[in-house]
Chains A and B, each alone.
Chain A
Amino acid sequence: VTAGAKGSRERWRGLASTAWTFLAAAVGGSCLLLLGIPGGMLVGSIVAVAALSMAGATVFRDARAKQVAQVIVGTGIGATLTPESFALLRALVLPILAAIAALVLVGLLSGLVLARTTGLDVATAITATAPGGMIEMVLVSDAVGGETPVVAGIHVMRILAVLGTLPIVLALLT
């Protein structure tokens, strides 16, 4: 088998995994959306792709996809901007900063409890429970000698818990 043929096969495999990942996400999301579950498209997509991944199928993981998603979400938000948006943001700066301070405090306390109850080292526990971005906290954890795979795993669980409970919270709030 020539290197060219091998490369071509790899490319087709990559395309196929991309196609079925997005197809599964669209089908899963549409099902929950049709059932009238709030935030169903997002949660259904997560559940469908997670099920594929857990079943051992090769799912699409590419850093560029995250950038594409950022551009689509950003364009969607930019399209809703009005002059009034800036006045609202000015009014929200203080409450947002206070909310962040509260989340940091809860994260630190949770980290200490996690370290006490599980025997995890403090560096791992605190960076795992800090409510910041996953990539940033994994980098901080690495710098302070934490176990980065555990930190990444707990951050994924936190994001999943927030997004997984979204339909319930939305149903309660709307």
Chain B
Amino acid sequence: MTHAGLVALVICGVAGGVVGIRCRVPLGGLLGSIVGAGGYQLLVAGTPALGRSFALVAQVLVGSLVGAAISRPMLRTVRSVIVPALVFSLLMPAVGLAVGWLLMTRVGHVDLLTAYLSSAPAGAMEMSAAALAVDADAEAVLAAQVLRVLAIALVGSTLFPIVIRRLQCGRPPQVSE
């Protein structure tokens, strides 16, 4: 791909991202830029482009955002539940690996790396950046992660309130001293 082609690809990606953000689509920057850059790629360019350096910049940006979320006040807040929360947090990569192996590689026939990155429950952007870095199938990873976030947002806002209310009704009322 020529330099002009690369510039055009990036312009289409940025334009799509801006439209996605302005239209307030959930994960609009991510989805809009895929539509923009992907549309250009499919209709004009034809061959995959953008090298490893692009993926590295993406990782530095995403890593900075995740790292900045860690602070002393945040740790103080979860201190009382730190051990079970840690156990749960470490259980999740294991569940992701098991689910990825069982469903994505056996049924979906993708490689185990793509399967893990698709099933492990971290952010859509974070796992997609990781997929770009290790040459996994980034489109499959993104599709799985976006579907997960949307599905659980849907389940969370409709079913969770019902389940929580039922569970709270089953407990004896708290008596304050």
Contacts and interface: CB of A to CB of B under 8 A. Distances in A.
B93 A103 contact: no
A118 B41 contact: no
B4 interface: no
B88 A154 contact: yes
B36 A78 contact: yes
Contacts of A169: 93, 97, 116, 120
Interface of B: 9-10, 12-14, 16-18, 21, 27-42, 48-50, 54-72, 74-75, 77-78, 80-81, 84-86, 88-93, 95-97, 99-100, 103-104, 107-110, 112-113, 116, 118-130, 132-134, 137-140, 142-144, 147-149, 151-153, 155-157, 160-161, 163-165, 167-168, 171
A51 B40 CA distance: 40
Give the one of A49, A61, A74, A112 with max B CB within 10 A: A74
Contacts of A126: 160, 163-164, 167
A33 B74 CA distance: 28
Contacts of A157: 78, 85-86, 89
Interface in A117-174: 117-118, 120-123, 126-134, 136-137, 140, 143-144, 149-150, 152-154, 156-163, 165-166, 169-170, 173-174
Contact of B148 (A67, A100, A159, A161): A100
Interface of A: 21-22, 25-26, 28-29, 33, 38-39, 41-54, 56, 59-61, 65-83, 85, 88-89, 91-92, 94-100, 102-104, 106-108, 110, 112-114, 117-118, 120-123, 126-134, 136-137, 140, 143-144, 149-150, 152-154, 156-163, 165-166, 169-170, 173-174
Given A61-B68, A99-B103, A110-B88, A75 B147 contact: no
Interface SS of A by simple majority: helix
Given A39-B133, A133-B123, A136-B157, 14 more contacts: A28-B63, A50-B70, A52-B67, A69-B29, A73-B33, A78-B16, A89-B139, A106-B95, A131-B121, A140-B157, A158-B122, A161-B90, A174-B113, A174-B134
15 contacts: A59-B64, A66-B125, A69-B58, A75-B13, A78-B39, A102-B95, A104-B151, A107-B152, A122-B168, A136-B156, A144-B164, A157-B89, A163-B122, A173-B113, A174-B134
